[in-house]
Structure 1
Amino acid sequence: MRKALIVDDHPFIRRIVRLVLEKANFQVAAETDNGATALDLARSHVPHLIVLDLSMPKLDGLEVLKRLHILGLPIKVLVLTSKGSAFFADRCIRAGAIGFIEKTEDVDALTHAIHRVMSGGIYLNDINANVATAGNDNQSDQQLIKTLSDRELRTLQYLVSGLSNKKISETMLLSEKTVSTYKTRVLNKLNIKSVVYLAEFAKRNNLVE
């Protein structure tokens, strides 16, 4: 029987995903609420599939994808997230995921996504239309966002959620000086003067939940 690993910090989501996977004839080998433990479980179980959230404690989904790629494990990864933008889908696919689906989709769509990636295909739900129909200002924003590294992007998300530099440093396992550097880079790259305007920018571009 094929094995799966569920990685999401919301117990309710994990329960739903478990039911969908078991109905699709998967054995759920393990589940966890954070990225650091996910890597340990991936190494020990080497599941056929990981259903992975993006926003999690310790290591976010993008960082998990990058580290899984370095480990070279033969694991397919389906990203299941509330961050439904073409920008995040692109980042995830480039980092090694072969599927990207929003949490707003129903269980039938999730089942289809699982079957699609396990059959060797790439699954993307219809998110690119959001960018294609956006105005010029939003398209300009997207170009600016693409200049951010994954860690700068994660710093942005923590900043606009109200976390202090100290708390961000503890969450990302970095020094406060490094977090301060990332903060400065984010503001400079996006040409934004304060965290207040940064929050508006993030909300406008669906960078936060």
Structure 2
Amino acid sequence: MKSALIVDDHPVVRAAIRVVLEAERFKVIHEASSAGEVMALIREHAPKLVVLDLKLPGHGGLEVLTRLKANDPQCKVLIFTSQDPLHYQDRCLRAGAMGYVTKTNQLQQLHKAIQALMSGYSYFAALPDNANVASPLLSSEKQLIDQLSDRELSILEQLALGKPNKTIAEDMFLSYKTVSTYKTRLIKKLGVNTAVHLRDFARRNHLI
């Protein structure tokens, strides 16, 4: 029996994904709205397919993907997210995802991706080479982003959204000191001067 798990914190999005999965003849569909719920549902139900958003409360979707594949390497994972594939698709591929669809696409793309994965194929968008990125500045900044760890990238996003260190620490189950250390490291790695410049950097590269 075809079973699936939808992981997204927006009820309307989960409902839309459920309609697509039902049209693809999935009989058992479970839902999770946060990273903390995922592993228990995976262990209990062992779904054949997980449709995973990258923007989740608590640990980000990238960390969920890594844990999920470590726990169940055979599970097929399809990323369905608003995050720019230019910065995230390769990371997800390396972490074990079999497909990546952005929410800006029509739902027909989600249908095609699910069909591909369940037939044993992958489903990823063709991305431009660094040499074809719009400007030398953005090309070099993409290289800096590519060198960040998944957790550094997740914290960068949250800092860029203006979240205080304390809030980020609580959301990610980290200490305040750890988040502060990451913030200092990000400022140094990305060659910016302040958290305001971190926000500008993130916005310029479509991370937020």
Same fold by TM (over 0.5)?
Answer: yes
Deviations 1:147-204 (A, max 9, x none): 2111111111111111111111000100000000110111110001111111111011
Q: 1:31-70, aligned counterparts within 5 Å?
A: 31-70=31-70
Cα separation, 1, equivalents of 2:56 and 2:89: 17
Partner of 1:183: 183
- CA shift, 1:72, in A, is 3.1
The letter for the 2-side match of 1:22 is E
Secondary structure of the equivalent of 2:80?
Answer: strand
Partner of 2:156: 156
Give ranges in structure 1 of 5+ residues lacking alignment. Answer: none
Give the total of aligned pairs.
Answer: 207
Cα separation, 2, equivalents of 1:130 and 1:100: 18
Cα separation, 2, equivalents of 1:185 and 1:173: 19
Partner of 2:109: 109
Deviations 1:99-131 (A, max 9, x none): 0000011111110010011111111134x1386
The letter for the 1-side match of 2:156 is L
Secondary structure of the equivalent of 2:3?
Answer: strand
TM-score normalised to the size of structure 2?
Answer: 0.95
Give ranges in structure 2 of 5+ residues lacking alignment. Answer: none
Secondary structure of the equivalent of 1:13?
Answer: helix
The answer to whether residue 108 in structure 2 is matched with residue 77 in structure 1 is no
Answer yes or no: is the 8 Å Cα contact 1:85–1:130 preserved in 2: no
Partner of 1:129: 128
Answer yes or no: is the 8 Å Cα contact 1:6–1:28 preserved in 2: no
The letter for the 2-side match of 1:129 is P
- Identical-pair percentage: 46
Secondary structure of the equivalent of 2:27?
Answer: strand
- CA shift, 1:73, in A, is 4.3
- More divergent stretch after superposition (21-30 vs 136-145): 21-30
